């Protein structure tokens, strides 16, 4: 019986596993087992995994970008990145610093390319130190923020830096250098000093002591606003003192006489002596800048003679054409660096300090205590005060090099500190157009001069940055082959490659 059952099972037709044909139509294939589905499914899974990986990487990079510098600044002078001086400063912070940009990010950057650069610079501070946080504060949406600083004239696009109970407001105008455009009769931004201003403000709020500078007035001084702005932007506490009525404050480290319109009297000169003596403890410095007009200043010169220097009559002229800014005038020229201590921080000494209508400085005695800081070339001389109209220099009038800036140091036995008197012959060297220019080193040099005289250690010297890039010129011999390659050869290569791939796939 079992044998018969087995024979029946063998004789029975095998069951068709495929769906039966209906009405003569071929059986439908199982699409889930088809080759197309198999490879298409794998491709779909790979695509989904790729998208997920991209999203995850993008999220990770987004988080890292707010904490770590991810961008590579390819601009020639790293205009969007921090200088090493600022990096070293923020990495050495031992206090928490909060930087508040007083606008939304979009509104702040809508101000133009220099605002975009300023935003990039400021955001980088927090990427180099966990001690620094950067916030965008929209004053419209958060009106109570300004109310907390009623002593400040806060406005949109200003930057407020805070450390503990101390704060420093950087006005938006202090982020950039600008000059009047006489074609549009409006101020145009020429360079960025965002890093300089913000780093200086951070030094201000984190430092326990601020160096005070007294600008001495009372003798019809010329405009010194650009000098004040330079000093303030570099963390000096500047105050005006009328020396005809007031004493120079004891807590002032430096005093400045800037281009007085008339000579000092004996009472004011005595106040200068008292300040520099500092009760025989020394430790003070005076910077004297004579007026560009060759006025006689016998009393001030008598004071300077005690320090081994005097201001000569006339103005310096320069005949070396490679040192002239304008070949039509010999009174606007580039000065030569002399003393290394006062120029060591200048990173590019091929960029000069510009002087205009400089008074000559006479060194009255050879002494190690007197240093020449800046001078003209040998092909220079002094234009006489009483020169006749049409006067032309002769060979004997070329008395260069002429001293344009010098410093004299006084030291007393048994006293650790020293006092200094520095003389800079050109008041025009402190003009805003020159201090804001990246084509000359006036700002960097004179900031370092004040820092050196004040014996400041917590200093960060940062020069302004210009966003203008260099233009790449392409000759006709180069442009024609490049045009053929990119407009004919490359498109044909892409077309042929596409046809070959299409034909091969079609014939599979």
Q: Is residue 494 part of a domain?
A: no
375 and 229 in a single domain? The answer is: yes
Q: Is residue 499 part of a domain?
A: no
Q: Is residue 420 part of a domain?
A: yes
341 and 329 in a single domain? The answer is: yes
Contact of 342 with 445, CB cutoff 8 Å: yes
Backbone angles phi, psi at 97, to 5 degrees: -125, 135
Placement of tokens 């059952």 in the chain = 5
Does pLDDT of 2 surpass 60? Answer: no
From start to end of 306-457, where are the E strands? 309-311, 315-318, 332-337, 353-356, 361-363, 370-375, 380-383, 403-411, 418-424
117 and 237 in a single domain? The answer is: no
166 and 274 in a single domain? The answer is: no
183 and 332 in a single domain? The answer is: no
Distance CA 374, CA 319 (A): 17
Q: Is residue 504 part of a domain?
A: no
CATH number, residue 375: 3.40.50.880
430 and 333 in a single domain? The answer is: yes
Query: Other C-beta atoms within 10 Å of 276: how many?
Result: 21
Does pLDDT of 226 surpass 70? Answer: yes
Q: pLDDT at position 276, please?
A: 97
Q: Is residue 21 part of a domain?
A: no
141 and 236 in a single domain? The answer is: no
Q: Is residue 276 part of a domain?
A: yes
Higher pLDDT, 344 or 184: 344
pLDDT tens per residue across span 315-331:
999 999 989 987 778 99
Q: pLDDT at position 73, please?
A: 52
Contacts of 451 (CB under 8 A, 6+ apart): 234, 459, 461
Q: What is the DSSP string of 475-492?
A: -HHHHHHHHHIIIIIHHH
Does pLDDT of 300 surpass 90? Answer: yes
Q: pLDDT at position 51, please?
A: 80
Q: In terms of residue numbers, what domain contains 170? A: 77-208
Tell me the pLDDT band of 196, cut-offs 50, 70 and 90.
Answer: confident
163 and 268 in a single domain? The answer is: no
Least confident span in 9-13, 130-134, 245-249, 297-301: 9-13
Does pLDDT of 5 surpass 60? Answer: no
Q: pLDDT at position 508, please?
A: 64
239 and 381 in a single domain? The answer is: yes
pLDDT tens per residue across span 14-72:
545 445 545 555 555 555 555 555 555 666 777 787 787 878 777 766 655 555 554 55
Q: Is residue 118 part of a domain?
A: yes
Specify the number of domains making up the chain.
Answer: 3
Compute the average pLDDT of residues 176-193: 73
Tell me the pLDDT band of 12, cut-offs 50, 70 and 90.
Answer: low
Q: What is the DSSP string of 429-492?
A: GG-HHHHS-SSS-HHHHHHHHHHHHHT-SS------B--PPPPPP--HHHHHHHHHIIIIIHHH
Residue 482, phi-psi category: left (phi > 0), alpha (psi -120 to 50), beta (remainder): alpha
Domain end position, chosen among 190, 208, 226: 208
Q: Is residue 497 part of a domain?
A: no
Q: pLDDT at position 474, please?
A: 47
Domain end position, chosen among 208, 237, 262: 208
Placement of tokens 């508040």 in the chain = 100
Domain end position, chosen among 141, 175, 208: 208
54 and 178 in a single domain? The answer is: no
Tell me the pLDDT band of 425, cut-offs 50, 70 and 90.
Answer: very high
Angle at 203 between CA 431 and CA 108, to 5 degrees: 75
169 and 216 in a single domain? The answer is: no
Q: What is the mean pLDDT of the chain?
A: 84
292 and 336 in a single domain? The answer is: yes
CATH number, residue 144: 3.40.30.10
Contacts of 48 (CB under 8 A, 6+ apart): none
Q: Where are the alpha helices (DSSP H) in 298-385?
A: 298-305
């Amino acid at each position: 019986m079992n044998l018969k059952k087995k024979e029946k099972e063998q004789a029975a037709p095998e069951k068709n596993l495929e769906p039966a044909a209906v009405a003569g139509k071929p059986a439908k294939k199982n699409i889930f087992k088809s080759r197309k589905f198999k490879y298409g499914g794998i491709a779909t899974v790979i695509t989904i995994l790729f998208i997920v990986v991209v999203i995850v990487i993008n999220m990770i990079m987004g988080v890292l970008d707010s904490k770590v510098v991810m961008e590579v600044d390819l601009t020639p002078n790293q205009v969007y990145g921090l200088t090493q001086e600022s990096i070293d400063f923020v990495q050495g912070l031992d206090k928490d610093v909060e930087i508040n940009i007083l606008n939304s990010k979009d509104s702040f950057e809508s101000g133009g390319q220099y605002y975009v650069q300023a935003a990039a610079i400021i955001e980088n501070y927090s990427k180099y130190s966990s001690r620094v946080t950067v916030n965008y504060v929209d004053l419209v949406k958060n009106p109570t923020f300004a109310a907390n600083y009623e002593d400040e004239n806060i406005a949109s696009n200003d930057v407020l830096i805070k450390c503990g109970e101390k704060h420093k407001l950087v006005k938006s105008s202090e982020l950039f250098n600008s000059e009047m455009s006489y074609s549009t009769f409006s101020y145009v931004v020429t360079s960025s000093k965002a890093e300089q201003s913000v780093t200086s403000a951070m030094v201000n709020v984190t430092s326990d002591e601020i160096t005070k500078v007294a600008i001495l007035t009372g003798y019809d001084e010329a405009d010194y606003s650009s000098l004040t702005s330079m000093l303030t932007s570099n963390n000096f506490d500047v105050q005006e003192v009328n020396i005809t009525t007031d004493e120079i404050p004891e807590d002032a480290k430096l005093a400045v006489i800037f281009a007085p319109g008339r000579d000092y009297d004996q009472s004011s000169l005595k106040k200068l002596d008292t300040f520099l003596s500092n009760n025989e403890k020394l430790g003070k410095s005076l910077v004297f800048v004579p007026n560009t007009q060759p006025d006689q200043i016998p009393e001030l010169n008598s004071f300077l003679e005690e320090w081994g220097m005097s201001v000569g009559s006339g103005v310096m002229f320069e005949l070396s054409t490679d040192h002239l800014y304008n070949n039509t005038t010999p009174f606007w020229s580039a000065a030569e660096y002399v003393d290394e201590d006062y120029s060591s921080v200048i990173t590019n000494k091929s960029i000069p300090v510009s002087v205009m209508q400089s008074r000559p400085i006479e060194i009255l005695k050879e002494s190690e205590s007197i240093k020449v800081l800046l001078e003209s070339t040998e092909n220079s001389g002094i234009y006489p005060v009483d020169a006749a109209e049409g006067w032309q220099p002769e060979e004997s009038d070329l008395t260069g090099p002429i001293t344009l800036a010098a410093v004299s140091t006084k030291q007393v036995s048994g006293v650790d500190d020293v006092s200094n008197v520095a003389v800079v012959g050109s008041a025009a060297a402190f003009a805003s157009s020159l201090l804001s220019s990246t084509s000359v080193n006036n700002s960097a040099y004179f900031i370092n001069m004040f820092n050196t005289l004040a014996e400041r250690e917590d200093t960060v010297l940062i020069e302004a940055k210009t966003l203008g890039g260099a233009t790449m010129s392409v000759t006709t011999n180069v442009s024609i082959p490049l045009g053929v390659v990119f407009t004919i050869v490359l498109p044909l290569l892409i077309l042929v490659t596409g046809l070959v791939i299409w034909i091969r796939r079609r014939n599979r």
